[in-house]
Structure 1
Amino acid sequence: MNKKTFYILSGFILFAALSRLLPHAYNFTPLGAIALFGAAYFKDKKWAFIIPITAFWISDLLLNNLFYSAYYEGFTWFTSGFLYLYGSIAMIAVLGYYLLKKVTIGRVIGGALGASLIFFIVSNFGVWISSPLYPLSAEGLIACYTAAIPFFHNTLGGNLVYSALLFGAYEWLKVQYPSLQPVESQV
């Protein structure tokens, strides 16, 4: 057991999730990158789900109750559509588990693209199913996905940038400190 590695990986993910508190373009977030990163390095796969989802939820709590509080009546634990957002994190972690058994630049880029597509498909399906803006028909679904296309490049950009930062920084740390090995089982 290497608790130091566990805490470093968790810290990277939490730090990336909290970067959402900084000004950024719509959908330019670390959502896909943190799920891929967790899946690649936590060998006990429950942590590949628990840590990214918890970190994202903490950043949601802060965003929704400090920055967007005017949109809610009182303290809010979850936003509408949270099941689709957190479900996409879980699905991306599954993708990362299979794709990133060996971490390479090409696989990380492929993972970032796959994560962006998963998020796009799942989150916008959630918007379509729960929003009065779109009729619950094939035309409404197409309209919802069409309206979301202008935001896709930010989703992809966020996943690529944050993946490069997370994976690059951690791989660099592993070279500097060889004791940082994948986490087998923790806590």
Structure 2
Amino acid sequence: MNLSVSRFSTVVILIVVAALSRIVPHPFNFTPIGAIALFGAAQFNRKLFAFMIPAAAMLLSDAVIGNPSLPTYLSFALIAVFGLVYLKKVTVSRLFVSSLVASISFFLITNFFVWFGGSMYPQTAQGLIACYTAGLAFYQQTLFGNLFLNTIMGDLFYTSLLFGSFYQINKIAFKPTVA
């Protein structure tokens, strides 16, 4: 068995399945976006694949959902860059921190674009603060819980699921044989 092909295929399949999970009903903001970016960044040997394959999987799910968003893809790319730097060594504590960074980055970037590209807030520092404040207010309690908490919990859940699944698959599928 060609280990590199199998490992590559495993990473791609996990990313595609995670991206497609966006099309099934789920609590608002409980998505794998940050986790996919981090997982791709940590697992692909060719760093170009760390961006291309997760982005292609996101585009596939967005084609079904019908909601592609430049701020989402920008935050996705920046999360991947962070993952490339921070997850050179994958540990539980690094995964936890990177997952939190992904959630916070997503909030900051997407709300920045609401301010920058919109007319709801003045294009001043005070307008930006008002936009972020309103963004936090938007994350009030809902039927499923706090929406910002949903983002954090979604990133933590999917990060754990992707990295944990990959770890278990590696342990089983690529186990050294005894001669």
- The equivalent residue for 1:167 is 163
- The equivalent residue for 2:50 is 48
Q: Distance in 2 between matches of 1:143 and 1:16?
A: 34
Q: Distance in 2 between matches of 1:30 and 1:163?
A: 8
- CA 25–134 in structure 1, closer or farther in 2 if over 3 Å, else same: farther
For residue 48 of structure 1, report the CA deviation from its aligned partner.
0.5
For residue 140 of structure 1, report the CA deviation from its aligned partner.
2.2
Q: Distance in 2 between matches of 1:139 and 1:14?
A: 40
For residue 131 of structure 1, report the CA deviation from its aligned partner.
2.3
Q: Residue 123 of structure 2 aligns to a residue in which SS?
A: coil
Whether contact under 8 Å (1:52, 1:89) holds in the other structure is no
- The equivalent residue for 2:12 is 10
TM value normalised by structure 1: 0.82
**Residue 37 (structure 1) aligned to one of 25, 36, 39:** 39
RMSD: 1.7
Encode CA deviations 1:158-181: one digit per residue, 9 max, x unaligned: 10000010000100111112269x
Whether contact under 8 Å (1:9, 1:38) holds in the other structure is yes
Query: Partner amino acid for 1:120?
Result: F
- The equivalent residue for 1:20 is 22
Query: Partner amino acid for 2:155?
Result: N
- The equivalent residue for 1:84 is 71
- The equivalent residue for 2:103 is 116
Q: How many residues align?
A: 165
For residue 83 of structure 1, report the CA deviation from its aligned partner.
2.2
TM value normalised by structure 2: 0.86
Structure 1 stretches lacking a partner, 5+ long: 65-77, 181-187
User: Identity of aligned pairs, percent?
Assistant: 45
Encode CA deviations 1:81-137: one digit per residue, 9 max, x unaligned: x22211111111111111111111111101101111111111111111122332322
Say yes or no: does 1:93 pair with 2:89.
Answer: no
Where relative contact order (Cα < 8 A, 6+ residues apart) is larger, the structure is 1
For residue 4 of structure 1, report the CA deviation from its aligned partner.
2.0
Query: Partner amino acid for 2:77?
Result: A
In terms of mean alpha carbon deviation, does 160-169 or 84-93 score higher? 84-93
Structure 2 stretches lacking a partner, 5+ long: 140-146
